[in-house]
Chain A
Amino acid sequence: MLHIGNTHVPLCDGVSRRSFLQAGSAATLGLSLPLLDTLRAAGAIDESKAKIKNCITIFLVGSPGHLDTWDMKPDAPENIRGKFKPMKTNVPGVQICEHFPRMAKMMDKVALIRSLHHKTGASHENGQRWMMSGHDYSEANKQPYMGSVISRVFGPKGALPTSIILPVKIGNTGTSTPHGQESAFLGSGHEPFFLGGDPALSTFKVANLEPPAGQTEFRVEARRKLLKEIDDLQRRVESSSTIERDTAYARAFNLLTNPETKQAFDLTKEPEKMRDRYGRNTLGQSCLMARRLIERGSRFVTVNHFDTVFGISCWDMHADGGSLNNTYADYEHLLMPQFDLAYTALIEDLEQRGLLKETVVAVLSEFGRTPSINGRGGRDHYPSAWTNFLAGGNIRGGQVIGSTDKNGAAPHDNPIEPPRIVASIYQGMGIDLETTMMPGPGGRPVRFIEGEPIRELF
């Protein structure tokens, strides 16, 4: 017997061939269907107690320097404290960078975690896997993205995918290892939906929602019927890949043909002033779309601020003079104002719509940046200390959790590792991490996450 939550799941010991096939079919179907009913029945999940119903993560690919943003050290030597100055916020004693003036006015909603660190290598991909899945892993032992887990547990609320990543998937950030935004052993039915386009462009169309060139929606519908007939035949074979593919097809067709889903992605329905408030750029319009998607039924949306670190202005400020030539100038003139506008617009907008109390917004990054400024005026990768933050849901804002030493080189108190952030989100969404497990590779039960929720957050 396997134990998933408090429910006993029979395996194939002592069963007839016929019942084995039925059990196999049910288990295979179970790869795609949400666990919600099972967990609810087992008392392992209680949605009525869940303070967080939705989650938006803004993932700052490339990673801002903690000493230049949310953990400033104005009394440190010049080559450590950097160029920018701290400013007061609406929370006494809490200061952040002068280039986040809007955020400074809403720090009472934000919980800063200043003692994040991880102990694996300083590559972008390591940090991406940690922060997007709560695990470090290899190609051979992939772990699922948070949104895929939420999809597996809760399933969809409506026609929209449970888990969506905007605007595009993370591409080349240095090594060819996973980025932590895949369903892994949870199967293709729980892959996040990737928007695949830039919502800031006037020519924007959702690449994944467009019928293939030369096909009308009528033809797509006709193909759906034909495929259903073929699938009915294939289903008799009872192979897991067939069932998995069924779910992926069904999801794709629903998206292609449902007018509600198309509306959800249509930013022209928003007032011009609202689009301006978020900023007419890729980050701003992605954050606006995230709000529209949550409002219309998605549960978990990640906005990737950048898909690469090479040859663009981004947070990866090595100042190397080549393709990684981001500097303080990029931060000051472009990135910080853009983030400040988009982030605060999202928090304000969610609050005004009554959605902030049930939606947590987590701003995450791969690591911090070196306390000492390098010889070229930049900072390099530094997983030993950094700051991320959460707001919304039942997160207790206006607080700083943990701290770093006087130079921001290491956690000084309450050191926190990435799985604890992921655990906090799962618990906030109503999953009892103590008693609940989920089907892992080969259907064997695995723990959701190896880490305790951060008690101070709530």
Chain B
Amino acid sequence: MDQKFEGTPKAALRLEGRKVIRGDVENNWGSRLQWKVSRDGKELATVGAGIESAFEHADATPGKYEVVLQMFKYVSYAKDKDGKFTASLYVDISTPVAYTI
């Protein structure tokens, strides 16, 4: 029996300076959470969110930063020859927050 995940997880984010703080995840699928950081529209990094509610990206290069919380969405175990999931993927579960340096 493969696992099924219903509904859409979501979490609220707020900014305190450059620090991003997340609320509890509603409809939590229980899979891995990560922060996706972009600068001037280009993805810069993904960082495991762990169990901490606050995150501050270390990079201080000038630009417009956007941070969003993502969760792994399991669709199937299928992977390509390099071991990457072909159907399962990370999806945004918050609206992004942005700040400028």
Binding site for B on A (CB under 8 A): 101-102, 167-168, 171, 198, 200-202, 272-273, 276-284, 306-308, 311-314, 319, 321, 325-327, 329-330, 332-334, 337-338, 341-342, 377
Cross-chain contact B2 with A312 (CB below 8 angstroms): yes
Cross-chain contact B83 with A334 (CB below 8 angstroms): no
Cross-chain contact B30 with A342 (CB below 8 angstroms): yes
B50 within 8 A of A: yes
Given the complex of chains A and B, what is the CA–CA distance between A277 and B3 in angstroms? Answer: 18
Interface residues on B, range: 20 to 34
Given the complex of chains A and B, what is the CA–CA distance between A281 and B27 in angstroms? Answer: 10
Residue numbers in B under 8 Å from A282 (CB-CB): 1, 3-4
Binding site for A on B (CB under 8 A): 1-7, 9, 24-33, 50-51, 72, 74, 76-79, 81, 83-85, 88
Name 10 interchain pairs, CB-CB below 8 A, sorted by A: A102-B51, A167-B1, A171-B1, A276-B27, A279-B28, A281-B5, A281-B29, A313-B74, A333-B32, A333-B74
Cross-chain contact B31 with A338 (CB below 8 angstroms): yes
Cross-chain contact A200 with B4 (CB below 8 angstroms): yes
Given the complex of chains A and B, what is the CA–CA distance between A308 and B77 in angstroms? Answer: 13
Contact A200 to B85, CB < 8 A, known contacts A276-B27, A281-B29, A334-B32:
no
Known contacts A282-B3, A329-B85; 18 further A-B pairs (Cβ under 8 A)? A200-B3, A278-B30, A280-B28, A280-B29, A281-B3, A281-B29, A311-B2, A312-B1, A312-B2, A312-B77, A313-B3, A321-B81, A325-B77, A325-B79, A330-B77, A333-B72, A337-B31, A337-B72
Cross-chain contact A313 with B77 (CB below 8 angstroms): yes
Given the complex of chains A and B, what is the CA–CA distance between A362 and B7 in angstroms? Answer: 30
Residue numbers in A under 8 Å from B77 (CB-CB): 311-314, 325-326, 330
Name the residue of chain B whose CB is nearest to the CB of A341.
B30
